[in-house]
Amino acid sequence: MANGPTFSVVGTDVKIRGDVEASADLHVDGSINGDIVCASLVQGEGSLIEGSIRAETARLSGTVKGTINAQELIILKSARIEGDVHYKALTIEHGATVDGRFAPDAGKQPVKAVQAQAPGNPAAKSPPLDLAAPRPPIAN
């Protein structure tokens, strides 16, 4: 048995219902209804992921309905994303669609959770602030 890097493929004819974990690279051309955790994710154009994604690197070109957490994220022009995007490095091709909020904080603990852990912290009782609001489209 080899200990080298592995690469798993979910083909166009495959539909998975449930969470997927891969210790290395994952290429998705089919559909997954569940959360994905992997080292590196490559998503094909015709694929559908309904669930959260957590990966070191992700290259997305299909449809994603869920939250994305990636250290390095590339969103290609054919991608359609419905959900919040958390990243450290981000590249978006012209033409990609994202309906959600962007936060350059992949891997950080949410502020709300940090406040709740601090005993006697009056901010923990205050409603959380929403600093990332969608902007209206720019008229040409």
Q: What is the residue-level pLDDT of the chain in tens, covering all 140 positions?
A: 456 567 899 999 999 999 999 988 999 999 999 999 999 999 999 999 999 999 999 999 999 999 999 999 999 999 999 999 999 999 999 999 999 999 988 555 443 333 333 344 444 443 443 444 445 555 55
Per the listing, tokens 């901010």 go with 123
* Token pair in block for residue 6: 């592995």
Other Cβ atoms less than 10 A from the Cβ of 54: the count is: 19
Per the listing, tokens 């209804």 go with 33
Predicted pLDDT of residue 6: 78
Predicted pLDDT of residue 23: 86
Taking the C-alpha atoms of residue 67 and residue 52, their distance in angstroms, rounded to an integer, is: 5
**Residues 6+ away with beta carbon under 8 Å from 76:** 59, 60, 61, 93, 96
In Å, what is the CA distance from 39 to each residue of 1, 36, 58, 71, 124? 21, 10, 9, 10, 34
113, 117, 118, 123 alpha-carbon torsion, rounded to 10°: 40
30 neighbors 16 (Cβ within 8 angstroms): yes
100 neighbors 81 (Cβ within 8 angstroms): yes
Predicted pLDDT of residue 126: 39
